[in-house]
Amino acid sequence: MKIYPPSTTSNLGVEILDIDLKQELSSKMIDDIRTQWVNYGIAIFPDQILTLEEYENFSQYFGPYGNEPFLIPMRDHPHVVKLHRKANEEAVHFGGAWHSDWSFQNQPPAATMLYSEIIPPVGGDTLFANTADAYDDLPDNLKQRIKNLNALHSAKLPYAKDGVYATEGKKRTMKIHTSDEANKMMPHPIVRTHKETGRKTLFINPVYTIEIEGMTKQDSDLLLFELYSHMGNEKYIFRHKWHPNMLIMWDNRTVMHMAEGGYDGHERLLHRITIADNKTY
C-alpha cells in the first residue's frame, strides 16, 4: 500500500495505491486507511474493479451502514444508492450545492463512499471544503461569538413535499423520495470537535442549515453568510476529478462538498454508501 498525501493548499485528499479492495484487509491496513482518511478528510482509491458485493464488504470495515432517508436504494442492495444521470436527462444534476450529507439527522453519517463506473469526458468534478482548517483560521472574536451557538438543520429545502425535488418538473433517473418528514428540525453545535482527530470544525452548510438558534432571522442569515463566505475560500477547496473504477470516501465531520455539472449529453453512473457515526458529540 502506497500513500500519497495532498499537495494542494486545502490539505484534503490522500491517494492510496497498490491495494486491492476486493481482498480481505488486515486490521493494520484498515487502521492505516482510517488514519489517513480522518487526517486528510478524503481517501481516494483509483483503479478498483469491484462488484457491488465487494464494494459493500469494503465499506463495512469502517462501520455500520448509514440511514438514507430520502434516496431510494437498489432493490437487491438496500444500502447502495444508484447515482445515475442519463445522457438525455434534463433534470439538474444531483447534489449541486454545498452540503454535508444528512446533517439534519441526530447522528449524521461519518463517511460517504462513492464508486464510479461511467464517467463523462467533461465536467462532473466533486468539490470539497476543509471545515477544520476554515475554523482554525477564523478570527478569535468570531470563534468566541459562535462557540456556544447551535444551528437548526432540516431537509425541507430539497426533500419536503414543496421542496426542490418535488417541484422541479423534470424527469429524473435517480430515485428520490420526498416527504413531510423533511420538515423536521435538528439542532447541532456550529462548532463540533472531531472525536478522532480532536480538531474543531464548522458544522454548517447552505443546503441543510436553516437558522441559528436564539437569533433573529436577519442576524442569523448575516452570520451564516459570513461563515459560508469564509469556508468557500479557494485555499480550503479540493477539486476531485473522477475516472472510472475509482472509489473515494470522505469524512462528513470535517468536509462539506458539492457536485459540479457540465456534462449534459453524457451518461454518469456512480454508487453511494453512507457509514453511520457511532461517536457521541
pLDDT in tens, 64-97: 999 999 999 999 999 999 999 999 999 999 999 9
Which residues span the domain enclosing 58?
Answer: 12-18+26-245+254-275
Percent of the chain with pLDDT over 70: 99
229: enclosing H helix or E strand: helix 217-231
Report if residue 129 sits inside a domain: yes
Report if residue 281 sits inside a domain: no
Report if residue 66 sits inside a domain: yes
Whole-model pTM: value is: 0.96
Report if residue 3 sits inside a domain: no
The x, y and z cell numbers of residue 52, run together, are: 457491488
The answer to whether 230 touches 138, Cβ cutoff 8 Å, is yes
The distance of Cα 188 from the centroid of its chain, to the nearest Å, equals: 17
184-239 pLDDT, tens digit per residue, is: 999 999 999 999 999 999 999 999 999 999 999 999 999 999 999 999 999 999 99
φ and ψ of 92, to 5 deg: -60, 150
What is the structure's pLDDT at 140?
Answer: 98
| Nearest-angstrom CA–CA distance, 241 and 245 | 12
Task: Quickly tell me which residue has 448509514 as its cell.
Answer: 66
The answer to whether 135 touches 197, Cβ cutoff 8 Å, is no
The answer to whether 200 touches 192, Cβ cutoff 8 Å, is yes
Report if residue 2 sits inside a domain: no
The x, y and z cell numbers of residue 214, run together, are: 436564539
Report if residue 5 sits inside a domain: no
Count of domains forming the chain: 1
Report if residue 193 sits inside a domain: yes
Q: Would you call 137 exposed, middle or buried from its count of C-beta atoms within 10 A (0-12, 13-18, 19+)?
A: middle
How does strand 209-212 pair with strand 150-153?
antiparallel
Report if residue 221 sits inside a domain: yes
The x, y and z cell numbers of residue 59, run together, are: 465499506
CATH number at residue 35: 3.60.130.10
